[in-house]
Amino acid sequence: MRADEIFTENGGPIPLPPRFAQIKRSLVAGKEYAIVQSWERLLVALRAEIAVIGVTKSDIIPTIDFSELQDHSRVSEFTAKLRRRGGAIIRNVVPASEAHSWREETETYLSENPHTKGWPTRDPHLFGIYWSPAQIKGRAHPNVLAAQRFLMGLWRSRGPNVPVVVDHPVSYADRLRIRTPGDEAWHLNAHVDGGSVERWESDGYGNAGTYQRIWDGRWEDYDPWDSSTRLKVTSDLYNGAGSCSMFRMFQGWLSMSDINPADGTLLLCPMLQLATAYFLLRPFFSPRNPSPTSPNFLARENWSLDFAQTSIIQGAVPSYTQELNSTLHPHLQLDKSLVRIPPVRPGDYVVWHPDMVYGVDRVPASSTPATIMYIPACPLTQTNALYLARQRKAFLRGQPSPDFGGGKGETTHMGRPGVQEVSDAGGEDGLRSMGLLPWEDTEGKSPTQKALVGMANAILFPESYDMV
């Protein structure tokens, strides 16, 4: 059962074990006044931002052409918008004709291997393939790797001693989706990936102090783009289904189809900092007048900090993603703030921050299937190198990517690519991103980053490199 189904069945927030009440108390203890003041400022900011979104709608999502990534003024404008909004589209990362040919290759790969696992079983749209020709070419494509370097370079860190290298993209093998016309099954309600209750727990995101500015009553100082507060995060304390073991700086997918706003497309809530602060602080506050039909229901005067904290964390249940809806998170006004992304064409790369609220529209109006491959942007870190070693083994054997369970996978699939195909698609950089060739370039890197590269090489190639 999905988390949104749990909340739909129960009709409201779900009490968690009593220890979560203590977790909440410890987060605000001694800072109650600052938290209340920050909450009131947040509600004012949300109202203003949602008004802007209501006017601009899909146009608020920034876009840039891949050919413009060397244009300083264009990049500066795009970067500022992306950091504020949280999601974007880089157009023409792959030539449209090439992306279209990948769709045809995917259809051939599936038709030649009719035993491929898909969900749901009847009329599947999400396919358990990780090593198809199109996916191998997409992940290793030089332009995709270049786009990922550009995107990950938008993140910041507190000094040179943060063990992350953003110009060494690491491939994360995810699945492939083909959404057919009229398909109502493959929709997703508003949610945030990367765990749920872990965001409030000291041994989850608290390990890295990711949201400390918000807990201190200073959400304006919270920087969603600070990588130094992400590396020690444990986002999956409860073995949740579909959790990602790699640190993703961006979630994303590459389109192999024309996808218009009415075609059951991606929905984004383009106010990253505000939405994150809101769903984190929401569990500490309750309305004085709980009637949602009251004209002053959303007014800041109607909301107060709970004197005695309960165990409720709206939209959060262990082992599930963070769900959001208009009942539990009324100030987000998701009917207004969740917008369809602009039209997408074959070869466009759609990306969004891992904390971003997003969903998938319900009923596609398109007359043709919409085919995409999930390709997040992941930097080189110790955690990612360790996962890459496991993923490489799965690739060589044709088994499912490690985060997606075991089983036979594509071991007997006709036309499954190997190492040579990775090299043909992406050369040495493509091989490195798959853990098939060591990293050698350490020019301009700090001692910490050089040590990380050495450690990653030792993890992946222990016969040739000593652990630093």
CB count in 10 Å sphere of residue 371:
24
Number of domains in the chain: 1
CA Rg value for the chain: 22
Structure tokens, 246: 């790699």
DSSP letter assigned to residue 19: H
Domain contains 292: yes
Which residue type sits at 103?
A: R
pLDDT of residue 1: 47
pLDDT of residue 160: 78
Tell me phi and psi for residue 355, to 5 degrees: -95, 5
Selection from 272, 286, 293, 280 nearest residue 337 by Cα:
272
pLDDT in tens, 101-143: 999 999 999 999 999 999 888 778 899 999 999 999 999 999 9
Structure tokens, 262: 């009415």
Rounded Cα distance between 394 and 115, Å, is 19
Indicate which CATH number applies to the domain containing 370. 2.60.120.330
3-state secondary structure of 283: helix
Domain contains 281: yes
Q: What would the 3-class secondary structure string for 138-185 be? A: HHHCHHHHHHHHHHHCCCECCCCCCCCEEEEEECCCCCEEEECCCCCC
3-state secondary structure of 64: strand
Structure tokens, 18: 């009593």
Contact 234, 198 (CB under 8 A): yes
Domain contains 241: yes
Domain extent, residue 86, equals 3-148+175-379
Strand bridging mode 188-192 / 358-360: antiparallel
pLDDT of residue 4: 56
Rounded Cα distance between 158 and 297, Å, is 40
First-to-last CA distance in the chain?
44
Domain contains 157: no
Rounded Cα distance between 167 and 150, Å, is 8
Tell me phi and psi for residue 411, to 5 degrees: -60, -30
Residues sharing a CB contact under 8 Å with residue 289, sequence separation 6 or more, in sequence order: 296, 297, 302
DSSP-based helix, strand, coil % in the chain, nearest 5: 40, 15, 45
CB count in 10 Å sphere of residue 91:
20
DSSP letter assigned to residue 226: B
Residues sharing a CB contact under 8 Å with residue 305, sequence separation 6 or more, in sequence order: 28, 32, 35, 36, 39, 284, 285
Measured over all CA atoms, what is the biggest interatomic distance in the chain, rounded to whole angstroms?
A: 69
Domain contains 399: no
Give pLDDT tens digits along the chain (468 positions): 455 555 544 567 899 999 999 999 999 999 999 999 999 999 999 999 999 999 999 999 999 999 999 999 999 999 999 999 999 999 999 999 999 999 999 999 999 999 999 988 877 889 999 999 999 999 999 999 999 999 999 999 887 799 999 999 999 999 999 988 767 666 799 999 999 999 999 999 999 999 999 999 999 999 999 999 999 999 999 998 778 999 999 999 999 999 999 888 999 999 999 999 999 999 999 999 999 999 999 999 999 999 999 999 999 999 999 999 999 999 999 999 999 999 999 999 999 999 999 999 986 666 788 999 999 999 999 999 999 999 999 999 999 999 998 889 999 999 999 999 999 999 999 999 999 999 997 888 999 999 999 999 999 999 998 765
Domain contains 93: yes
Contact 397, 416 (CB under 8 A): no
Alpha helices of 86-132 — where are they, by DSSP H? 96-112
3-state secondary structure of 270: coil
Q: What would the 3-class secondary structure string for 396-417 be? A: HHCCCCHHHCCCCCCCCCCCCC
Domain contains 342: yes
Distances 461 to 124, 264, 303, 386 between C-alpha atoms, Å: 38, 44, 57, 11
Rounded Cα distance between 460 and 236, Å, is 24
DSSP letter assigned to residue 344: B
Selection from 270, 361, 279 nearest residue 322 by Cα:
279
Structure tokens, 84: 């504020």
DSSP letter assigned to residue 296: T
Rounded Cα distance between 76 and 195, Å, is 32
The reply to whether omega before 120 is within 30° of 0 (cis) is yes
Q: Kindly give the interhelix angle for 382-397 and 447-460, rounded to the nearest 10 degrees.
A: 30
Q: What's the residue count for the chain?
A: 468
Domain contains 169: no
Query: Which residues are registered as beta bridge partners of 322?
Result: 192
